[in-house]
Amino acid sequence: MDLRQLEALTAVAEHGRFSAAARALHTVQSNISTHVARLEEELGAILVDRSAGRLTPEGEVVLARSRRVNAELAALKADVASMTSHVTGTVRLGVIGTTGRWLLPPWLDELGKSHPDVEARVVDSTTSALIPLLESGELDLAVINIPQQHEEMVTSPLFTEDLVVVTPGHHPLAAGGDRSVSFADLEPHRLLLGPVGSNLRDHIDDAAGQHRVRLRSLAELDGIRLTATLAFQGYGPAIVPVTAIPAWAARGDWNVLTLPEMPRRTVGLVMRRRGMLSAAATAGRELIRAAVRETVPTIHGLAII
């Protein structure tokens, strides 16, 4: 098996056609076709559906492995370079938006100071969207909601965070202004919630269930910042982490209600169990932990584990 074959297959997957893949790799289409055909012959399976311009199920399996191989090769080069001089390469970090808002500025600042030749690539997304990117090798690290029951992942807790209820000012729950509410208070109302099966939604539903309450959804939104924004704009109440409310947000016609019965959420650092982090990713990981230790004590509602 030739690395050029894997590179050709990856390019076809990313660009859809052999001709587009050839342009991306600065070669001719016949080379791409030859590499893919030889890979198919060696594996004994059709990897590309030529008529549809997409990978077959077998091709998707090979693609996932290929991306991991490429990530390991890039890490190998960076590690050798780091041993002979200083840390170089790329750290690819995924982060949930509410955490990224306050964590990325100190992290990026320190990364630039300590390791100026390390490039940072950051993906801002939801926990459910970041896990597959971590699995496929497209990310080195991810800061997400935990726990995660995944045998291929290693998680380490970073901090805990209060969950609060954001409600429009005209909503019945807002009567009396900022105050404490219970799950029983929330039960008669429809809420903006995350998708069933997502980490935060399960956390909320489990807590409500402990109080014999089943929360009803006004809409299921896979994105905490979006959920909070819609609550700010008057669409309905939402249970969100306290950092979903930006420190710079001007107070409008909405209220923040504490929910003492709601346990804190836990945010952690996740990486693949198999494979070794590159020197750049290792440096990025340690600076994430340092940024958390320094910044969390300054933010109301957060606590280091």
Write down the residue that tokens 């219970």 correspond to.
182
| Separation between Cα atoms, residue 297 and residue 259, nearest integer Å | 21
Q: What is the pLDDT of residue 80?
A: 67
Question: What letter would DSSP give residue 122?
Answer: E
| Separation between Cα atoms, residue 293 and residue 298, nearest integer Å | 10
How does pLDDT run across 105-117, given as a tens digit for each residue?
999 999 999 999 9
| Separation between Cα atoms, residue 106 and residue 20, nearest integer Å | 39
Q: What is the pTM of this model?
A: 0.73
Q: What is the pLDDT of residue 50?
A: 80
How does pLDDT run across 154-177, given as a tens digit for each residue?
999 999 999 999 999 999 999 877
- Domains by residue range for the chain, with CATH: 3-69 (1.10.10.10), 86-159+266-300 (3.40.190.10), 163-263 (3.40.190.290)
Which segments of the chain have a pLDDT < 70? 77-85, 250
The CA-CA-CA angle for residues 45, 49, 55, to 5°, reads: 80
Peptide bond connecting 147 to the previous residue in cis, omega within 30 degrees of 0:
yes
